[in-house]
Structures are given as C-alpha cells and as structure tokens.
Structure 1
C-alpha cells in the first residue's frame, strides 16, 4: 500500500464552482440557532456550531462573489453584493468564541449571504 495521497484542491475555485450547496441542513441549523432562548450547551458545543456556520458562510460567500462577478458593471445587485461580502469578511475575521452570541452572529451571516445569493440568482434563467 502506498503512503502517497492526492489532494484535490483548486485555489482558483472552478472545481467546485458549479456544485450545488447543501443548503437545507444549514438553513435548518440557522433557524434552530436563531430560535435559541436559553440553550444549555457547553462552550465547546457553541464553538463547534459556530465553526460549522463559518465554513458554510465562506462557501456561500464564494458563490455570491462568483455570481456578482458575472453581472454587468452597471448592475446594482453587484454593488449590493460587494457590501454584503465586505461585511461577511469583517465578521469572519473575528475569532470564534464558545458563546451563544458568536453562534447567532454566524447564523445571521449565513442567512444574509443566502438572501443576497437569492437576489443575485432570482432573474437568471434555469439551465437547460
């Protein structure tokens, strides 16, 4: 057996650019996190949830960026997407914490990114 492994990673992104997002599980997680009233979880649990939401937020942000870049320069949706992406980058640069607030902040970010993605893709015709 060989010890060598091949890792598929394309830092320019086209490999996974057309793969659909696993949206439903993350939307359910966002809904659950934002509905928390007084959860009784450990700091490590909150951190793990925030970590999951962070990774997904980065994926959705990449998709938003790709769709915004494909718009004509005079399309206002692109400018709005850039505002959301700047705010996302700012929030994602904050360190993870094992708190309810951190998890809820990441959940709100995922929700905002999906809202922007939906607006960017709303008028696009479905692929044949």
Structure 2
C-alpha cells in the first residue's frame, strides 16, 4: 500500500484550521496500540489503523506548526517544535505497511506530537 492519496488544493491551510482534533479517542487508540504484546489483526486492519493515525498525526502537526510559527524567535519552544515536526515529516513520508510495527510507529508519532502541542499551549511561567 502506498502512502500517497488524493491531494487537495488548500494553499492557505484553511481546511486544517477548521477541523477540531478529536483527541480522547485517538489517545485511547494510541495507548492500546502501544500496549500490544502479540497482536494478530489482519494486514488490512493494520493498514486501516495506520491510515487513521496518519490522518490524525497530520492534523496535530498542522496545529503544532501553526502555534510554533506564532511564537517569538526567542521562545525555545518553537525550536523544539521544529525538531519534532521534521521527524514527523520523515515518519509520515514513509509508506504505510500492514504491520504492527508500522502502526506502533504512527502511534508513537501521535503521542510525540500531542506532547509538543501541549507544551506549546501551556502558559509560560514568568521569569523570577
């Protein structure tokens, strides 16, 4: 299965900005996937789960990118976000496979992106 799908023309990124993240079910899915010991789904089931996580990871990455771009250059959180986003781009460009390893890789990516998103949205403590 290839990772390529139809490409939508959205140069201003408005489509991503209007879609709220449905976080709770995806976090539950990520937790379950990362707890797998000896999973036995069919390859097609793995592919469907990987597609779901890929789409969600792209949505989170878009939010992280938007929030990081709005930070002042002196805010180190933006630099950390860029590192996570570069890694996300590499991992999301890898073709999907019908394997537990592929699905767990996407689950780890979703978790890392949510961690970065949370760091970007938490208030910065005032300097003493």
TM surpasses 0.5: yes
The answer for the alignment partner of 1:5 in structure 2 is: none
1:13 equivalent in alignment to 2:23: no
CA–CA separation in structure 2 for the residues paired with 1:18 and 1:123: 23
Q: 1:117 Cα shift?
A: 0.2
Gaps of 5+ in 2: 1-7
Q: 1:10 Cα shift?
A: 3.8
Q: 1:35 Cα shift?
A: 0.7
Q: TM-score, normalised by structure 1?
A: 0.86
Cα RMSD between the aligned structures?
Answer: 1.6
Tell me how many residue pairs correspond in the alignment: 117
Gaps of 5+ in 1: 1-7
The answer for the alignment partner of 2:104 in structure 1 is: 104
Pairs within 5 Å for 1:1-128? 10-17=10-17, 19-123=19-123
CA–CA separation in structure 1 for the residues paired with 2:27 and 2:94: 22
**Structure 1 residues 24 and 89, CA, compared in 2 at 3 Å: closer, same or farther?**
same
